Amino acid sequence: MGVLLARGRARRSGNGWWVGRVPGPASRYMDLNWRRVFRMGGVMKRIGTIYLRLASAALALGFSLPSLAAVERWKLNMTPGVTEVSRQVYDIHMTILWICIVIGVLVFGAMAVAIFRFRKSRGAVAATWSHNDKAEVVLTIVPVLILVAMAWPATQVLIHMADTRNAEMTIEVTGYQWKWGYRYVDSDVSFISSLARNSDDTRQLGSGLSPDQVKSYLLDVDRPLVIPADTKVRFVITSGDVIHSWWVPALGWKQDAIPGIINDQWTLVKEPGIYRGQCAELCGKDHGFMPIVVEVKPKTEFAQWLAAQQNPDAAAAAAAIATTAEPVAAAAAPGQG
């Protein structure tokens, strides 16, 4: 570079320094190459800046979603979930992911070798042929075999997911703006599940409340859906107004709730626990405030809960008797000593 600057007058272009044209074909060739290098560098810099901004915006948007408040940061992969279906979906996802990684390494590796090893500046000359029967046959058959190998297990899982036969319980799920309605078809129990009061108060503009101080912010409800453990539960899902989507990631599926149409799905959760989700279809201004909470109870506890929901007066009386008996027992305890 110093020799070139000594031989010619250095000028500055929009993308960097380049050597001014000096007499002689070699100098003109070097001048042109430097201009190309600096221009390409400027283009790559702008492309890199654009990608960086897009990546930053995507991360900011992702971390602002309520659904990510319940997961660990930087856990970017799918989770195995808590059902047999969710684990099957996870296994297929990982298998196809590794297949795609291998394909990507091979394809982009071949591209990199072709670009850098056989570039024009090294004297490479492009081939004159434009057709190769063997190559076309191989590049057609191999992708077809890969797709069939991926589609076969995926189809088996989809068939298994769609099989709602032999369900021990059916629950009707109805989406509304912006809450969920649940009805236990085999029992006279139904209720509405809405965003929890503390989350609803905190989300209001000018509330002065901090979301960091609210447990399960925007992912908690006033009345969760309760189902028994180790029981196949069938869901019939519809909507009373616009399209919604009932989604609990731990269950391994989501299902659209469409007005006038009934879709069905099923789940079987082995272990008790609390699992959260939310509406996954843009349904209006409060779409982000339609959480779902599924509480899985042991069968005996679920039977008690269901009986209490069927006869709320008796449950309230039993709770009042228990509340009254506690002070009496506490007062009697010292005299027994």
Does any domain span residue 70? no
Residue 95 and residue 58 in one domain: no
In this structure, what are the phi and psi dihedrals at residue 83, rounded to the nearest 5 degrees?
-125, 165
Span 34-91, pLDDT tens digits: 555 456 556 566 666 766 666 665 554 444 444 444 556 777 888 899 999 999 999 9
The answer to whether the CB of 237 falls within 8 A of the CB of 212 is no
Residue 203 and residue 283 in one domain: yes
Identify the domain containing residue 268 by its residue range.
Answer: 169-318
Does any domain span residue 234? yes
In this structure, what are the phi and psi dihedrals at residue 179, rounded to the nearest 5 degrees?
-160, 175
Residue 42 and residue 137 in one domain: no
Residue 43 and residue 87 in one domain: no
Q: Higher-confidence residue: 323 or 4?
A: 323
When pLDDT is cut at 50, 70 and 90, the band that residue 125 belongs to is: confident
Rounded CA-CA distance 337/328 in Å is 16
Does any domain span residue 102? yes
174-193: average pLDDT:
94
Residue 27 and residue 95 in one domain: no
Q: Higher-confidence residue: 265 or 47?
A: 265
Residue 108 and residue 91 in one domain: yes
Closest by CA position to 190, among listed 202, 176, 177, 200: 176
Does any domain span residue 73? no
Closest by CA position to 308, among listed 323, 318, 298, 294: 318
Rounded CA-CA distance 180/291 in Å is 9
For residue 229, the one-letter residue type is A
Secondary structure E strands in the chain: 10-13, 16-19, 169-176, 179-184, 189-193, 225-228, 233-239, 244-248, 253-257, 263-267, 273-279, 291-297
Residue 179 and residue 232 in one domain: yes
The answer to whether the CB of 226 falls within 8 A of the CB of 171 is no
Does any domain span residue 240? yes
Does any domain span residue 103? yes
Residue 227 and residue 97 in one domain: no
Residue 149 and residue 182 in one domain: no
Residue 270 and residue 175 in one domain: yes
Does any domain span residue 137? yes
With 90 as the cut, is the pLDDT of residue 334 above it?
no
State the pTM of this model.
Answer: 0.68
CATH number at residue 158: 1.10.287
Does any domain span residue 335? no
What average pLDDT is seen over the chain?
A: 81
Domain boundary among 41, 64, 87: 64
Residue 250 and residue 195 in one domain: yes
Rounded CA-CA distance 32/315 in Å is 88
Span 268-320, pLDDT tens digits: 999 999 999 999 999 999 999 999 999 999 999 999 999 999 887 655 555 55
CATH number at residue 289: 2.60.40.420
Number of structural domains (the chain) is 3
Residue 29 and residue 157 in one domain: no
Among 19-28, 132-141, 159-168, 299-308, the range scoring the smallest mean pLDDT is 19-28
